[in-house]
Chains A and B, each alone.
Chain A
Amino acid sequence: MTLLEIEGLSLSINGSPILKDISLSLKQGRILGVIGESGSGKSMTAFAIMQLLPSGSKATGHLRVLGFDMLAASEDDLCKMRGNDVSIVFQEPATALNPLKTIGDQVAEAILIHEPSTTRAGAQVRAQTTLERCELPAEQFPLTLYPHELSGGQRQRVVIALAIALRPKLLIADEPTTALDVTTQAEVLELLKRLVTEDQMGLMLVSHDLAVVAGMADDIVIMKNGEIVESGVATAVFQQLRHPYTRALYAASEHVPDRTPPRSTARLLSVTNLVRDYRLPRTALFAAPQYFRAVDHVSFDIFKGESLGLVGESGCGKSTLTRAILGLETVQGGEMYLDGMPIAGGRHVDRKIRRRMQAVFQDPYGSFNPRHRVDRLISEPFHLYEEPPSSDEKNEAVVGALRAVGLSPEDQFKYIHEFSGGQRQRIAIARALITQPELILLDEATSALDVSIRAQILDLLAELANSYGLTYLFISHDLSVVRSITDRVLVMRDGRIVEEGKTEQVFSAPQHPYTRSLIDASPVLPKNANH
């Protein structure tokens, strides 16, 4: 049975076209993958199906769910359908749940809204079975838990339980695993797959990640700028790669930048037995304070000109370690040397040392003061000089840095909101380059970018490393990116480094079971003969 039929769907919001002539269909028991980069209209398609569009939207064409015309339906009818026949799972489990209600109440509420004749007790019982189907057994996860008592993956299971509580025919999942770690991602995808088979649902999986969709979907739709550029059976699409955009996406996803391997054996940064403890809030007034050890006796070296990867899941301490190296954390033990000079962990780090290290952070939207112009943003690290350079020198350096990252000198007079995510990350790199540092710490620097932009930024980093002799510490949760740009890699878990070695060696023959589980959980692109 065809659950979802879309034909010639066009959508405009306040007059500007968002979707153009979308046609797709989804049958019972099948998974449809919708792939696209940001701005491709993939989420808007999902919202159009739910009819959860922003005000000022105008949709034309045919959109039928279970044979029911969604475009002509009244709001009352839509409310009856939403959550009952069609459900949606959003990206961010942290905000999709009400923090003031227990998980049991939230799932029960979904049941009570659509079936008001159910008793409260009956709804709770059904909530329990639904949560158990989503692998949250009642012994460990009683209904009385609040969302903050759960991890990200467990919260996403509750969100899925909410969506499937009434056994909808059609389930839409909009980037359901993007906010999750790889191992959790694999589990949640497995869960979704199982539910589709058990309930004979149709699942529309919206994602930017080719590899995730490739491992799940029966059919595939690839979107760009509000249009479908290619669609078909998943295996065929990935085998043939007919459309140039599909090919480009595929190539960008497994892009490996050209790099010359480092030759130097001189140590640039050496860290020994680094410890960082956080004090936890007191449980009782006179109780001894408890500590959480975020970084636990970590030791490693970075050699000059090398690119070292640091891999780990969220909460493993990799960001704390980065901040400690930058001298932004008070450390409780251990030593760090940059080129033989000690880095004091604390507030006052010698400016001469700090000048030689810079950092690029993850969020291209949050790493700039929106009130300053680009020239002022980029030249901020000049603060590290005792005598600030003259305005001519400063200007020259700003222009030089902008050129080095592929932007034009005129861009210095603009404000940051005038740039796209990829351009912002270039500006972040320009800011890191301006004091001509030797070591750049890249903390998830490509994680928030689309695959094609990510490939460009990786190329840029490789090129800059070659021409300026830069050394990178590349921190990421994304194994495929780390594999493509690093020479050696460290694997971190619970504040400790569990494995260390040459990147290819670690990836092809992981020694530690944790490394192995990480690699196994990472989604892989299907091998392609034409490519």
Chain B
Amino acid sequence: MKTNRNLVVGAALTGFFTIAALISFLWVPYDIEALNIADRMKTPSFSHLLGTDHFGRDILSMVMIGARTSIAVALVAVGIGMGLGVPLGLAAAARKGSLLDELIGRGNDLVFAFPSLLIAILITATFGPSALNAIIAIGIFNVPVFARLTRGSALSIWKRDFILAARVSGKNSAQISVEHILPNLSSLLIVQGTIQFSLAILAEAALSYVGLGAQPPTPSWGRMLADSQTMISLAPHLALAPGLAIVFTVLGLNLLGDGFRDVFDPRLRRGRT
């Protein structure tokens, strides 16, 4: 079988940042809590590969530790969204037109009706700003995305003849949803999942930017961007490092999603041999 280039490049990029995040637990080049004002806003050099920020902290170390926050927040938030949204969507499609379907549908509308950042601010303002509350806030807004996508696509699959054949075989709607509907939605969910993952990283960055995400001194890519904003004309490299980290993680995840979709679909898999 020909190797899938998307998968390899995607896995390499995602793997690179994941490993950087993991290494940061054991070792980072510099202690990021130690301020060194004398060395502030240095451009990249051998001693500081990505330079230093306005407190003289090593940016490479901060990007590595920031990867932990960004990846963890996005992963858990998308997990919440998929874990709740997909079953809700499947249930709504299986009981189309019922009260349950209406409740799920209107519930989705309700969540969609509020600007997501506003509610996230509301949640974090009520329960206090922290990475956990950011995760919950971002996760809640992922639920209707997955619920709607799942319901819509599941409805079209319910009309297919093989569902009729499964019903003739005595399967109930829950079994059909899990065995027949879900596998046929997987490629769609993987692609949407990677998109939501990148949006979650950006949402975390946005929350941290307004000071409602991870709290100092814990660095996150979003906070680093926010901090660098005022100094963008003096030291553009401060924004470049976390910005590129976000770009390449998101790119890697999208490629990974495309690659997974191709590998998991038996039609495409055989087509490549």
Contacts and interface: CB of A to CB of B under 8 A. Distances in A.
Contacts of A69: none
B168 A354 contact: yes
B272 interface: no
Given A326-B168, A381-B168, A367 B266 contact: no
A383 B165 CA distance: 12
A299 to B, nearest CB: 23
B267 A417 contact: yes
A204 to B, nearest CB: 33
Interface of A: 323, 326, 328, 347, 349, 351, 354, 357-359, 361-363, 366-372, 380-384, 415, 417-418, 428, 431
Contact of B161 (A366, A380, A384): A366
B269 to A, nearest CB: 9
Contacts of A383: 169-171, 175
Contacts of A363: 161
Given A367-B161, A367-B165, 6 more contacts: A359-B165, A359-B168, A368-B165, A369-B179, A371-B183, A417-B267
Interface of B: 160-162, 164-172, 175, 179-180, 183-184, 186, 265-267, 270
B16 to A, nearest CB: 32
What secondary structure prevails in chain B residues at the interface with A? Answer: helix
Contact of A362 (B161, B166, B180, B266): B161
Contacts of A347: 172
B170 A361 contact: no
Given A351-B170, A354-B170, A383-B170, A370 B165 contact: no
Contact of B164 (A361, A415, A418): A361
Contact of A380 (B166, B184, B186): B166
Given A371-B266, A415-B267, A366 B168 contact: no
A415 B266 contact: yes
14 contacts: A347-B172, A354-B170, A359-B165, A363-B161, A367-B160, A367-B162, A367-B164, A367-B165, A369-B166, A369-B180, A370-B267, A383-B170, A383-B171, A431-B165
A72 B13 CA distance: 49
Nearest to B163: A369
Contact of B184 (A349, A358, A369, A428): A369
Given A370-B184, A417-B266, A328 B162 contact: no
* For the complex of A and B, 5 pairs with smallest distance between CB atoms: A367-B161, A371-B183, A366-B161, A361-B161, A381-B169
A508 to B, nearest CB: 35
Contacts of A382: 169
A182 B266 CA distance: 39
A508 B239 CA distance: 86
Among B162, B168, B170, B171, find the residue whose CB has the most chain A CB atoms closer than 10 A.
B168
Nearest to B173: A347
Nearest to A358: B168
Contacts of B265: 371
A366 B175 CA distance: 19
A397 B184 CA distance: 27
Contacts of B165: 359, 361, 367-368, 380, 428, 431
B169 A384 contact: yes
B162 A366 contact: yes
A367 B165 CA distance: 7
Contacts of B170: 349, 351, 354, 381, 383-384
A205 B172 CA distance: 46
Contacts of A354: 168-170
A431 B164 CA distance: 13
B187 to A, nearest CB: 10
Given A369-B162, A371-B266, A418-B270, A328 B183 contact: no
Nearest to A362: B161
Nearest to B175: A383
A355 to B, nearest CB: 8
Contacts of B186: 371
Contacts of B266: 370-371, 415, 417
A371 B161 contact: no
B183 A369 contact: yes
B101 to A, nearest CB: 15
Contact of B160 (A351, A366, A418, A428): A366
A156 B169 CA distance: 38
Contacts of B160: 366-367
Contacts of A349: 170
Contacts of B168: 326, 328, 354, 357-359, 381
A273 B9 CA distance: 65
Nearest to A366: B161
B77 to A, nearest CB: 28
B169 A368 contact: no
Contacts of B167: 326, 328
A495 to B, nearest CB: 20
Contacts of A357: 168
A386 to B, nearest CB: 11
A258 B267 CA distance: 38
Nearest to A361: B161
B270 A380 contact: no
Contacts of A369: 162, 166, 179-180, 183-184
Contacts of A323: 164
Contacts of B172: 347
A417 B161 contact: no
A328 B267 contact: no
B169 A415 contact: no
A362 B162 CA distance: 11
A177 to B, nearest CB: 24
A418 B168 CA distance: 24
A389 to B, nearest CB: 14
A347 B169 CA distance: 12
Given A368-B162, A369-B180, A417 B169 contact: no
Contacts of A367: 160-162, 164-165
A186 to B, nearest CB: 29
